[in-house]
Amino acid sequence: MTKKSSCYLDAMAMLEAADEIHSPQVCEQALQHMAQDITRDLGETYPLVLAVMGGAVVFTGKLLPLLKFPLDFDYIHITRYGDRLQGGEFEWLREPYEVAGRDVLVLDDILDEGHTMKAIVAEIMARGANSCHSAVFANKLLPKNKAITADYVGLDVPNRFVFGFGMDAKKLWRNLDGIYAMSEPD
Ligand SMILES: O=P(O)(O)OC[C@H]1O[C@H](OP(=O)(O)OP(=O)(O)O)[C@H](O)[C@@H]1O
Ligand SMILES: Nc1nc2[nH]cnc2c(=O)[nH]1
C-alpha cells in the first residue's frame, strides 16, 4: 500500500472534524425546488446562464440538466477570498461577455456578505443586460444585512465557514455532495 501524503491526512482530518449541515439528499431536493422556481420565472426568456467559477461548478453541473428550456451558458470568474477564510479585494479572472440585451441568470455556490454577487450584478447591468437574476445554492445566515439578496436560494447555512457542494475549505473538498461546516477553534 502507498504511504498516504500529509495533504491526504490533513484533508481527512478536516472532514472528520467537520459537522454535516445538509445531507446529499437534502441538497438534491433543494436543487429540484430551485429548478422549478427558475423554470417558472425564466423558462421563456431564453436566458444567458453564467456560472461563477470555481465554486459554482457542482451547483451548475447539477442544476443545468434540470432546466428543460432553451438557454445559453458561459462562465465568469471573480474572486475575493482566494484560499483565505476572510474576504479581500476583488479580482476579475474572466469578465462577463456578450450580456448586452440578455436576460442573465448568475449561478454561485454561496451568498455570504453578498459583496461578490453585488459586484457581478452591477457589472452585468453596466454592460447593458436586460435583466440579471441571481441564484445561490447556499445562503449564509448572518446577523447583519447583506450587500444584496439572491433571487433564488437553495439552502440556508449557519454563520460558519462551510464547504462541500463546490465550496472549498483551504482548496479542498469541493467534490463533496453534501454541505459541511469546519470545526471551530476551541
Ligand atoms: O458573499 P461574499 O461574502 O462576497 O462571498 C461569496 C463568494 O465567496 C466565494 O468565492 P471565492 O472568492 O472563495 O472563490 P471560489 O468560488 O473560487 O471559491 C463564493 O464562491 C462566492 O463567490
Ligand atoms: N467555501 C466557502 N467560501 C465562502 N465564501 C464566502 N463564505 C464562504 C464559506 O463559508 N465557504
The predicted structure's pLDDT at residue 185: 72
Beta-carbon neighbour count of residue 134 at 10 Å?
Answer: 24
Is 186 a residue whose pLDDT tops 90? Answer: no
Task: Kindly state if the Cβ of 109 falls inside 6 Å of ligand 2.
Answer: no
* Rounded Cα–Cα distance for residues 179 and 173 (Å): 10
Question: What confidence tens digit (pLDDT) does each residue in 73-98 have?
Answer: 999 999 876 666 666 788 899 999 99
- CA distances 140 to 133, 158, 166, Å, are 18, 6, 15
33 Cα to the center of ligand 1, angstroms = 23
Q: Does the structure show a pLDDT above 70 at 4?
A: yes
Query: From the CA of 53, which ligand is nearest?
Result: 1
Task: Extract the C-alpha cell encoding 46.
Answer: 431564453
The string of pLDDT tens digits covering residues 86-145 is: 667 888 999 999 999 999 999 999 999 999 999 999 999 999 999 999 999 999 999 999
CATH architecture of 21-161+170-182: 3-Layer(aba) Sandwich (3.40)
Nearest listed ligand to the Cα of residue 88: 1
Give the start-to-end residue ranges of the domains of the chain.
21-161+170-182
Phi, psi of 39 (to 5 degrees): -60, -45
